[in-house]
């Protein structure tokens, strides 16, 4: 009896739509998590644009600030913030799953929830420090 | 004992007759405590003896009975029919070539598994009179979950990277390699590096995480592979940046 295995292929572009029924829509979650990095890149571009404006003088910088403070500028930044938060939170959720177990003094593994707490704590601290800096430095 | 009729929709493929696989539906009087594997056994015994599928232990130990049950990679001996609907769709594991009906070809996995050298490669070989290689409970605990693999291949069926990139060594084989690399008694990193961290190795993984979700033994392949990436990065930098290659 000759073997004639039938190959099972997936569609190179549509594989993530045909998500198998896992406990979560893993493929969709994955695409959402990874694609939101585009918004981080977008903000980096805005940031570099701002730096460039700052370097080329007060007028250019005022123009940049004006654009950022316009309705469209604010809306864009809000959208970016929302997606950046999503990106951050989904990576935080993955973090305990992607690292070597940390050990407590008694040799027990540090639980995943503790790892998340530390991450969110650091996130909150960084946010507070940034806001404080802005508050102190802005005229 | 309650018996309920269920429609079992099975993907059939006879390499001698069928050009492409086709679905066939059987009505099976399922007892309440039945698993999908029992329903398939009923079909084979009572309705169509030609139905072909693998199984052995019927207790989620041997890893032979993996199938897509309602489109999810599942051990059919662990999937109670009462947890599914009136109609249950049973297909061979995704991403593997279908040999016949629900039997897939494991050749690709077997070849990759062997290339990974999944055994202890000690720094210094001990003779029998030297006694065993010892390990503390804590050292074992570092890798414990990754040692529980039963090679059922559900993780390969769940992995979109394996589906798209056939050179990918894949979740189970990489996890086993990590398990040995990280074993306190092992010194085989250099021998496994090419397969583990080269083309098709851990860096191919994009951390979708579905492998860990479908794993019936909680082996956490996704975690093993991410930890493997860390080891590979450290290895890379110590080899190229440290004088003497970190030796
Ligand atoms: S028959 Fe052994 S794992 Fe299902």
Domain B3-104 has CATH 1.20.140.10: no
Residue A61 confidence (pLDDT): 93
Kindly determine whether residue A97 and residue B94, on different chains, have CB atoms separated by under 8 Å: no
The yes/no answer to whether this complex scores an ipTM above 0.90 is no
On whether residue A80 sits in a domain, the answer given is yes
Kindly determine whether residue B16 and residue A1, on different chains, have CB atoms separated by under 8 Å: yes
| pTM of the complete model | 0.92
- Axis crossing angle, helix B189-197 with helix B221-241, rounded to the nearest 10: 110
* pLDDT value at A20 more than 70: no
First to last CA, chain B: 67
Q: Please work out, in degrees rounded to the nearest 5, the angle formed at the alpha carbon of residue B90 by the alpha carbons of B86 and B93.
A: 150
Extract the tokens encoding B21.
């696989």
Number of domains in chain A: 1
Write the CATH number for A40: 1.20.1300.10
On whether residue A8 sits in a domain, the answer given is no
Residue B240 confidence (pLDDT): 83
* pLDDT value at B247 more than 60: no
User: Ligand 1 centre and the CA of B74: distance in Å?
Assistant: 10
On whether residue A1 sits in a domain, the answer given is no
Domain boundaries defined on chain B: 3-104, 107-241
Domain B107-241 has CATH 1.10.1060.10: yes
For B148-196, write each residue's pLDDT tens digit.
Answer: 999 999 999 999 999 999 999 999 999 999 999 999 999 999 999 999 9
Interface check A37 vs B, CB under 8 A: no
* pLDDT value at B245 more than 80: no
Residues B188, A103: Cα–Cα separation, whole Å = 25
* Structural domain of A22: 15-137
For B50-77, write each residue's pLDDT tens digit.
Answer: 999 999 999 999 999 999 999 999 999 9
């Amino acid at each position: 009896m000759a073997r004639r295995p039938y190959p099972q292929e997936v569609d190179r572009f549509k594989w993530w739509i045909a998500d198998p029924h896992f406990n979560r829509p893993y493929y969709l979650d994955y695409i959402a998590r990874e694609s939101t990095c585009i918004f981080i890149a977008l903000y980096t571009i805005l940031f570099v644009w701002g730096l460039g404006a700052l370097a080329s003088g007060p007028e250019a910088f005022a123009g940049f600030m004006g654009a950022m403070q316009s309705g469209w500028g604010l809306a864009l930044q809000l959208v970016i913030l929302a997606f950046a938060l999503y990106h951050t939170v989904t990576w935080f959720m993955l973090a305990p799953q992607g690292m070597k177990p940390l050990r407590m003094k008694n040799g027990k593994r540090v639980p995943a929830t503790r790892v998340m707490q530390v991450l969110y704590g650091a996130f909150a601290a960084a946010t507070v420090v940034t806001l404080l800096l802005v508050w102190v430095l802005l005229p | 004992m309650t018996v309920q009729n269920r429609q079992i929709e099975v993907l059939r493929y006879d390499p001698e007759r069928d050009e492409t696989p086709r679905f066939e539906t059987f009505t099976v009087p399922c007892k309440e405590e039945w698993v999908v594997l029992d329903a398939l056994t009923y079909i084979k015994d009572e309705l169509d003896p030609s139905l072909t599928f693998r199984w052995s232990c019927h207790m989620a130990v041997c890893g032979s009975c993996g199938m897509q049950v309602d489109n999810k990679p599942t051990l059919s001996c662990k999937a109670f029919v009462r947890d599914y609907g009136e109609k249950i769709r049973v297909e061979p594991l995704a991403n593997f070539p279908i040999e016949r009906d629900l039997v897939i070809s494991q050749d690709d996995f077997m070849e990759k598994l062997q290339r990974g050298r999944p055994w202890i490669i000690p720094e210094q070989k001990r003779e029998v009179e030297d006694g065993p290689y010892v390990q503390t409970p804590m050292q074992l605990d570092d890798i414990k979950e990754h040692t529980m693999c039963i090679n059922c291949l559900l993780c390969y069926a769940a992995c979109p990277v394996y589906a798209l990139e056939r050179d990918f060594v894949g979740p189970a084989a990489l996890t086993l390699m990590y398990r040995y690399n990280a074993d306190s008694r092992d010194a085989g990193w250099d021998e496994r590096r090419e397969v583990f961290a080269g083309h098709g190795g851990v860096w191919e993984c994009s951390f979708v995480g579905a492998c860990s979700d479908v794993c019936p033994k909680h082996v956490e392949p996704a975690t093993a592979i991410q930890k493997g990436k860390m080891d590979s990065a450290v290895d890379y930098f110590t080899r190229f940046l440290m004088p003497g290659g970190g030796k």
